[in-house]
Protein backbone atom coordinates (compact mmCIF):
# COMPACT_ATOMS: atom_id res chain seq x y z
CA UNK A 1 0.00 0.00 0.00
CA UNK A 2 1.09 3.56 -0.67
CA UNK A 3 2.74 4.99 2.47
CA UNK A 4 0.46 8.07 2.56
CA UNK A 5 -2.61 5.80 2.51
CA UNK A 6 -1.13 3.89 5.45
CA UNK A 7 -0.51 7.20 7.29
CA UNK A 8 -4.18 8.14 6.75
CA UNK A 9 -5.23 4.87 8.41
CA UNK A 10 -2.86 5.62 11.32
CA UNK A 11 -4.52 9.04 11.71
CA UNK A 12 -7.90 7.25 11.75
CA UNK A 13 -6.63 4.78 14.36
CA UNK A 14 -5.46 7.64 16.57
CA UNK A 15 -9.09 8.74 17.00
CA UNK A 16 -9.67 5.70 19.24
CA UNK A 17 -6.71 6.40 21.59
CA UNK A 18 -7.65 6.00 25.26
CA UNK A 19 -5.43 8.53 27.04
CA UNK A 20 -6.96 9.95 30.24
CA UNK A 21 -3.49 10.27 31.85
CA UNK A 22 -1.01 11.58 29.26
CA UNK A 23 -3.57 13.05 26.82
CA UNK A 24 -1.10 12.08 24.10
CA UNK A 25 -2.84 10.14 21.32
CA UNK A 26 -0.97 7.75 19.04
CA UNK A 27 -2.23 5.81 16.03
CA UNK A 28 -0.58 3.05 14.04
CA UNK A 29 -1.45 1.17 10.86
CA UNK A 30 0.40 -2.09 10.22
CA UNK A 31 0.37 -3.80 6.85
CA UNK A 32 0.78 -7.57 6.53
CA UNK A 33 2.64 -9.36 3.74
CA UNK A 34 -0.69 -10.16 2.07
CA UNK A 35 -1.92 -6.56 2.18
CA UNK A 36 -4.19 -6.63 5.23
CA UNK A 37 -4.01 -3.61 7.55
CA UNK A 38 -4.35 -3.72 11.34
CA UNK A 39 -4.94 -0.42 13.12
CA UNK A 40 -3.90 0.27 16.71
CA UNK A 41 -4.11 3.06 19.27
CA UNK A 42 -2.53 3.57 22.66
CA UNK A 43 -4.58 2.34 25.62
CA UNK A 44 -3.62 3.78 28.99
CA UNK A 45 -4.24 2.51 32.49
CA UNK A 46 -4.55 4.10 35.94
CA UNK A 47 -1.64 1.93 37.09
CA UNK A 48 0.44 3.35 34.19
CA UNK A 49 2.50 0.16 33.67
CA UNK A 50 -0.25 -1.77 31.85
CA UNK A 51 -0.47 0.98 29.20
CA UNK A 52 -0.17 -0.41 25.69
CA UNK A 53 1.37 1.62 22.87
CA UNK A 54 -0.44 2.02 19.55
CA UNK A 55 2.18 0.01 17.65
CA UNK A 56 1.95 -2.96 20.01
CA UNK A 57 -1.84 -2.84 19.90
CA UNK A 58 -1.64 -3.21 16.11
CA UNK A 59 0.94 -6.03 16.31
CA UNK A 60 -0.93 -7.94 19.00
CA UNK A 61 -4.21 -7.66 17.11
CA UNK A 62 -2.51 -9.06 14.01
CA UNK A 63 -0.60 -11.87 15.73
CA UNK A 64 -3.69 -12.89 17.69
CA UNK A 65 -5.51 -13.27 14.36
CA UNK A 66 -2.75 -15.49 12.95
CA UNK A 67 -0.90 -12.88 10.88
CA UNK A 68 2.86 -13.09 11.42
CA UNK A 69 4.42 -11.46 8.34
CA UNK A 70 4.60 -7.70 7.99
CA UNK A 71 5.96 -5.18 5.50
CA UNK A 72 5.42 -1.69 6.96
CA UNK A 73 3.87 0.41 9.70
CA UNK A 74 2.80 4.07 9.83
CA UNK A 75 2.81 5.88 13.18
CA UNK A 76 1.38 9.28 14.13
CA UNK A 77 1.11 11.01 17.49
CA UNK A 78 0.05 14.35 18.96
CA UNK A 79 -1.59 15.71 22.11
CA UNK A 80 -5.36 15.08 22.29
CA UNK A 81 -7.34 17.54 20.19
CA UNK A 82 -4.29 18.77 18.30
CA UNK A 83 -3.25 18.22 14.70
CA UNK A 84 -0.19 16.10 13.93
CA UNK A 85 2.74 18.53 13.90
CA UNK A 86 5.75 16.43 14.90
CA UNK A 87 7.19 12.98 14.27
CA UNK A 88 6.28 10.29 16.80
CA UNK A 89 9.05 7.70 16.93
CA UNK A 90 8.28 4.24 18.35
CA UNK A 91 9.49 3.54 21.90
CA UNK A 92 12.16 0.94 22.60
CA UNK A 93 9.69 -1.70 23.73
CA UNK A 94 7.73 -1.37 20.49
CA UNK A 95 10.94 -1.60 18.44
CA UNK A 96 11.78 -4.84 20.24
CA UNK A 97 8.29 -6.24 19.53
CA UNK A 98 8.73 -5.29 15.85
CA UNK A 99 12.06 -7.13 15.81
CA UNK A 100 10.33 -10.32 16.96
CA UNK A 101 8.19 -10.43 13.82
CA UNK A 102 9.88 -8.28 11.18
CA UNK A 103 12.98 -8.38 9.03
CA UNK A 104 15.31 -5.54 10.07
CA UNK A 105 16.48 -4.80 6.53
CA UNK A 106 13.10 -4.66 4.80
CA UNK A 107 10.43 -3.73 7.35
CA UNK A 108 9.64 0.00 6.98
CA UNK A 109 8.55 2.43 9.69
CA UNK A 110 6.87 5.58 8.36
CA UNK A 111 6.65 8.66 10.60
CA UNK A 112 4.54 11.69 9.66
CA UNK A 113 4.67 15.24 11.04
CA UNK A 114 1.65 16.59 9.19
CA UNK A 115 3.71 17.59 6.16
CA UNK A 116 6.40 15.05 5.44
CA UNK A 117 6.80 11.28 5.76
CA UNK A 118 10.15 10.01 6.97
CA UNK A 119 10.78 6.31 6.45
CA UNK A 120 13.26 4.09 8.27
CA UNK A 121 14.12 0.42 8.20
CA UNK A 122 13.70 -1.39 11.49
CA UNK A 123 17.46 -1.96 11.58
CA UNK A 124 18.06 1.80 11.40
CA UNK A 125 15.87 2.30 14.48
CA UNK A 126 17.05 -0.81 16.31
CA UNK A 127 20.59 -1.81 15.36
CA UNK A 128 22.16 -4.84 17.03
CA UNK A 129 18.80 -6.09 18.29
CA UNK A 130 18.45 -8.88 20.84
CA UNK A 131 17.11 -12.22 19.65
CA UNK A 132 17.32 -15.86 20.69
Of 18 and 35, the one with the shorter C-beta distance to ligand THU is 18
3-state DSSP percent of the chain in helix, strand and coil, to 5:
30, 30, 45
Residues 8-67 close enough to bind ligand THU by CB under 6 A: 19, 22, 24, 26, 42, 44, 51, 53-55
- Our measurement of the distance from residue 7's CA atom to the centroid of its chain's CA atoms, rounded to an integer in Å, reads 10
Of 37 and 54, the one with the shorter C-beta distance to ligand THU is 54
Strands 37-41 and 117-121: unpaired
Give the footprint of ligand THU on this chain (CB under 6 A).
Answer: 19, 22, 24, 26, 42, 44, 51, 53-55, 90-91, 94
Amino acid sequence: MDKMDLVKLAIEAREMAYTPYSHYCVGAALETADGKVYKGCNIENAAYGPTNCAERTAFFKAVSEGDLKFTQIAIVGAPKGEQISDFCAPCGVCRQVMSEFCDGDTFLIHLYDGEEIRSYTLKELLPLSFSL
